[in-house]
Structure 1
Amino acid sequence: MMFGLFQTIPSITTTALEAELTKNITILDVRNPSEYRSGHIAKAINVPLNKISGYKGAKEAPIYLICQSGMRSKSAAKQLKKMGYNVINVRGGMSQWTGKIRGGK
């Protein structure tokens, strides 16, 4: 199976994530700080991929991970899953996001 490596990481679309924003959810934006400042989802917390191993948060609730295209967030999701977190990768990342953003121009 082609996607065998990623079977254990659940994922959702940016549209599905937008529908979840009314709930009390955790979103980690794993892009670098300058990318984050250029525009991010209001509820998103910036934890760059190279710092993800130091993340300390609740392990019970799902954590939604987003980056620019979905690749870095997938890598972060794998790391956090190994650490015992309940993770969901956001497919397509900010390049597919059509909802409101904070920051940027």
Structure 2
Amino acid sequence: MEYINYIVILIFLSFILMRFLPTKGVRNISAADLKNELKDRSNKQFVDVRTPGEFKGNHIRGFKNIPLHQLSNKANELTKEQEIIVICQSGMRSQKASKILKKMGFSKVTNVKGGMNAWS
């Protein structure tokens, strides 16, 4: 019985770690690094995965608003051959969006750590 408890705890810890570890193949940049990325916009797509209300309140010029809950359905609006830079409010939704895009076959995905909170 004691072994079962250890196995359950191990599975739970593994699940927690997998949720918060960076996704393999996703580049993570800071808000300061994003400023450099914005200087050269060629071959890049900029996606803001916040809600339309959040986006309307404050956004970075050049970012396209595709809310996280719509990303799977609207991913066909993005080009798989170009790098995609993803931002949200704090970095959590953009990290999740980056995982979704990688699973959908996008090869160059970049997440902005800290999101709009770090940008301000």
TM-score (norm 2): 0.75
- Between 16-25 and 35-44, report the one with greater CA deviation: 16-25
Can you give the 5+ residue segments of structure 1 that lack an aligned partner in the other structure?
A: 99-105
Pair 1:66-2:83 in alignment: no
Q: How many corresponding residue pairs?
A: 97
Query: Which protein is richer in helix relative to its size?
Result: 2
Greater C-alpha radius of gyration: 2
Pair 1:5-2:21 in alignment: yes
Pair 1:80-2:101 in alignment: yes
Offset at residue 5 of structure 1 (A):
3.4
Contact 2:23–2:99 (8 Å) recurs in 1: no
CA RMSD of aligned residues (A): 1.6
**Cα deviation code 1:31-67 (max 9, x no counterpart):** 0000000010001000000001021211111100000
Identity level (%): 42
Q: Counterpart in 2 of 1:22?
A: 39
**Which SS does the other structure have where 1:21 is aligned?**
helix
| Structure 1 residue ranges (4+ consecutive) displaced by more than 6 angstroms after TM superposition | none
* Aligned equivalents of 2:85, 2:35: Cα separation in 1: 11
TM-score (norm 1): 0.85
* Aligned equivalents of 2:21, 2:54: Cα separation in 1: 28
